[in-house]
Amino acid sequence: MNEKKRIKIALAGNPNSGKSCIFNALTGSNQRVGNWAGVTVEKKEGYAKFGNYEIEVVDLPGTYSLTAFSMEELVARDFIIKEDPDVVINVIDSTNLERNLYLTTQLIELGVKAVVALNMSDEAKHKGIIIDIRKLGELLGMPVVETVGTRGIGIQDLLREAVAVHESKEPLSRHIHINYGGEVEEEIKKIQAALKKDRDLTEAFSTRWLAVKLLEHDKQVRDDIIAKAGATDVILKQIETSHAHIEKILGDESEIILADARYGFIKGVLHEVYIHRAFDRITISDRIDTILTNRLLGIPILLGLLWVMFQTTFTLGKYPMGMIGGLIGHISAFLSNTMPDGLIKDLVVNGIVSGVGGVIVFLPNIMILFFFISIFEDTGYMARAAFIMDRVMHTLGLHGKSFIPMIMGFGCNTSAIMGTRMLENKTDRLLTILINPLISCSARLPVYILLAGTFFGRNAGNVIFAVYMTGIVLAILVGRLFRKTIFKGEAAPFVMELPPYRLPLLKSVAIHMWEKGSVFLRKVGGIILAASIVVWFLMSFPRTAEYKMEQSYAGQIGKFVAPVLEPLGFGWKGGIALITGIAAKEIVVSTFGVLYNVGENEVDRMEKLQNALRKDMTPLAALSFMLFTLIYIPCMGTLGVMYRELGSAKWALFAVGYSLTLAWLVSFVVYRGGMLLGVR
């Protein structure tokens, strides 16, 4: 029997190159998602089989280059250099070779074993782009395979070439040097000579690659050399001399000259490999964009699509939600009838089942929301949303690219804040992070569905949409205020690549939905379960001969905060729910389930909870509560990420202070204003 062989493959490519589709096609469901050690950049790993090989596939963060200007670039480069994968598969968008091949030139400089996946080859042919694949492979010095990641085309050929490259003795099928011109090449040689005086450096890295990076002012490489090299003074002196010489002779910064040379190499390659290219052909994407990104129609269409998303989330989700609620009710009734009376029964039925069950019923709604978000991303509309909102975002001193993390916030503020790394300007990042929690995440959705469904009937979907839109409007207003007062300065220029529209792959959408849904389920089985037990304990103790909930620990806490919340229309029970919701916003619903103790033998527990809420709140108070939930303190997970991304406890505390103040003011104006207008 042949012994199994193991190899590690890294996937590298630009954003929007279809890299995730290639990863999904290679690994299927055999994958896991986490974070890279020490950072909050998402890490995807999976496994594939080919012949006698068991292949570990690592999906590197999407990046345009391997120069360490962003966390994604640093993570991708460090993995290739330090983890030394057996093969790098460079995924390239066939319809945009010039942009995508820039990363390829840097892989060539690293001298790694690589294979090019010429992805979206069907779209390229549809656009009239015909590429000489054999010639492209020769010029790049690595195999090239045509793929269509969304349909799994070319995946087996890709694995075959990767295995063949791994088994070959040479790093590349043909060794290539990008020529940077006589003056620069001379300086590269001088830096190499200085580097070769230190054996530790020559054994760990290619001296040519190090020299090129040092000429690019790569801070990470410079710091690594200072940390490792024994002849540091000689090396640093040569770098300074080379920079000065290049700038004096060629009249520009060395990193610009190096970038120009790479693009010159790319243009030469493209001149050789394009058999045909219809530059003036109007594509289907162009025709669609004349409508969807129209100056007058773009924003109404975007709002319309968001309205459809929230309406569908509520109206379609209530059917499976009712089925799950009924099942949980049956479980509760069964436990109530079979367990002996006592504290354990009370904990299980009125603590765990009421708390956890009250949240898990909203899983279908969460999945529907993530279905729409995934569709927006996979079709290419997410980038259009940023393009459409560019003019609006400029009113608060940002640009359209900042709107992408805001839309991502509909799913999870934590991942949205991590997504601000796409913003090059530090001030833009800071401002976007501070206003992002105002975008209503999926964790708040169960609160809205519960209260809107209880108090607003057929208009529930419209009310939920209005709450979400309120978050966007507040984010824009607060951002404008901060930009005028705290973060003064000009907005950075906006450059956003619009990928072609694509039909979303059902498999890819399903994987995205499951990834996000599984996060929700893990939260239900972890923090929400723990919080439900804590709330039950606070509500059940201290035990007295004449027990009243108001006298419990929870009641005492609620009574303490009640004077602050009563002007907003809700009392001490709402205060307890909001306090526990700081841990995770879903816990607001589970806290209501425990506090209102909706009955041990009731199958329809949701209806019982709704009836209990109607006795304590009016529709106006419910709206006030939803708005407070929208705005007030971000959850602990979001605060932790804000602290890490901002690198300062001061800004995290500022976010807590301003959001809590704004929540009280907005809820007060809505509730008291409604009362003055005769609304109840």
> 639-663 burial string, b = 16+ CB within 10 Å, else e?
bebbbebbeeeebbeebbebbeebb
pLDDT < 70 regions, the chain: 1-2, 29, 33-41, 68-69, 169-175, 200-205, 229-231, 278-283, 391, 394-402, 419, 421-425, 489-499, 544-549, 597-605
Look at residue 569 in the predicted model and tell me its pLDDT: 93
DSSP string, 324-350: HHHHHHHHHHHHHHHSPSSHHHHIIII
pLDDT in tens, 557-570: 888 998 999 999 99
Taking Cα atoms as reference points, which of 474, 476, 453 lies closest to residue 463?
Answer: 453
Looking only at the bridges linking them, the beta strands covering 5-13 and 42-50 are unpaired
- Compute CA distances 157 → 20, 45, 225, 283, whole Å: 18, 21, 40, 29
DSSP 81: I
Query: What DSSP letter does each residue of 238-294 carry, written as one string?
Result: HHHHHHHHHHHHHSS-HHHHHHHHHHHHHHHHHHHHEEE--TTPPPHHHHHHHHHT-
Q: Is the torsion defined by CA of 193, 195, 200, 204 positive or negative?
A: negative
* Rounded Cα gap, residues 307 and 301, in angstroms: 10
**Predicted pLDDT at 394:** 67
First to last CA, the chain: 78
Q: Residue type for 557, please?
A: I
The H or E element containing residue 575 is: helix 572-580
- Ordered by where they begin, the domains of the chain are 5-167 (3.40.50.300), 182-276 (1.10.287.1770), 298-487+527-676 (no CATH)
Between CA 436 and CA 571 the distance in angstroms is 28
* pLDDT of amino acid 623: 96
* Cβ-Cβ contacts under 8 Å for 464 (sequence gap 6 or more): 310, 313, 314, 445, 448, 449, 452
Integer Cα distance of 209 and 171 in angstroms: 14
Query: What residues does 42 pair with on adjacent strands?
Result: 35
Tokens 């030469």, residue located: 268
Residue 644 CA to residue 639 CA, distance in Å, equals 9
Say if residue 569 is exposed, middle or buried (CB neighbours under 10 Å; 0-12, 13-18, 19+): buried
**Coil, helix or strand at residue 89:** strand
Q: Find residue 53's DSSP bridge partners.
A: 5, 50
Cβ atoms of residues 578 and 628 within 8 Å: yes
Give residue-wise pLDDT tens across range 64-89. 888 766 777 888 888 988 888 999 99
Which tokens sit at 448? Answer: 């809205």
d(CA 587, CA 594): 10
All residues at 6 or more sequence positions from 110 whose CB lies less than 8 Å from its CB, including other chains = 66, 80, 81, 206, 209
Structural contact between residues 115 and 9, judged by C-beta atoms closer than 8 angstroms: no
Q: In 409-552, where does DSSP find H-type helix?
A: 413-418, 426-435, 445-455, 460-485, 506-523, 529-540
Nearest 10 degrees: CA dihedral of 401, 402, 404, 407?
A: -150
CA distances for 576 relative to 579, 584, 589, angstroms: 5, 13, 11
Task: Copy the structure tokens of residue 120.
Answer: 């979206």
C-alpha–C-alpha distance, residues 505 and 151, integer Å: 8
Closest listed residue to residue 158, CA positions, set 147, 172, 170: 147
Length of the chain: 680
> Would you state the structure tokens that stand for residue 527, as one six-digit string?
């923090």
How would you classify the pairing of strands 114-119 and 87-93? Answer: parallel
DSSP 8-state symbol, 4: P
For residue 276, list its beta bridge partners.
130
